[in-house]
Amino acid sequence: MKKFLIKISVFFGIVVIIFSIVLMNYGGYIDYFYEKFTTPKVKSLILGDSRSMQGIQPSVINDYFKGSDYETPILNYSFTIAQIAYGPLYTESVKKKLDTTSTDGLFILTVNPWILSLREEDKVEEGIYFEQGKPPHNMTFVSHSPNFEYLVRNFNYFHFKSIVRRTSKMHKDGWLEESNLPKDSLTLNKWKEIQVELYSDYASRWKKSEFRLNHLQKLVEYLDKHGDVVIVRMPIDQKIMDIENNYWEGFDDDISRVASETNVKYINFSSHIEQYKTYDGNHLDKYGGVIYTRHLCDSIVKQQKGLSKAGR
Q: Residue 119: name the closest of 87, 153, 154 by CA.
A: 87
Domain total in the chain = 1
pLDDT of residue 127: 96
pLDDT of residue 307: 42
pLDDT of residue 10: 45
Cα gap 83→116, rounded to integer Å: 13
288's enclosing H/E stretch is helix 286-303
Return the DSSP state at 8: H
pLDDT of residue 224: 97
Q: Residue 281: name the closest of 20, 51, 46, 22 by CA.
A: 51
Could you tell me whether strands 176-178 and 168-170 are parallel, antiparallel, or unpaired per DSSP bridges?
Answer: antiparallel
Cα gap 279→285, rounded to integer Å: 6
pLDDT of residue 271: 81
pLDDT of residue 168: 80
CATH of the domain at 226: 3.40.50.1110
pLDDT of residue 222: 98
pLDDT of residue 167: 66
pLDDT of residue 292: 97
- Contact 297/61 with Cβ under 8 angstroms? yes
pLDDT of residue 39: 95
What is the domain range of residue 292? 2-310
- Contact 13/6 with Cβ under 8 angstroms? no
pLDDT of residue 4: 46
Contacts of 24 (CB under 8 A, 6+ apart): 145, 146
Phi, psi of 101 (to 5 degrees): -80, -5
Predicted TM-score of the model (pTM): 0.88
Give helix then strand counts, H and E, for the chain: 11, 9
Distance of CA 48 to the CA centre of its chain: 4
Q: Residue 299: name the closest of 244, 251, 234 by CA.
A: 234
Ranges of beta strands (E only) in 226-270 are: 227-233, 265-268
- Contact 208/116 with Cβ under 8 angstroms? yes
Cα gap 225→109, rounded to integer Å: 15
Task: Tell me which amino acid residue 19 is.
Answer: F
Cα gap 306→299, rounded to integer Å: 13
Contacts of 117 (CB under 8 A, 6+ apart): 85, 202, 206, 207, 208, 209, 212
Residues of the chain with pLDDT under 50: 4-5, 7, 10-21, 26-28, 160-164, 306-312
Distance of CA 190 to the CA centre of its chain: 25
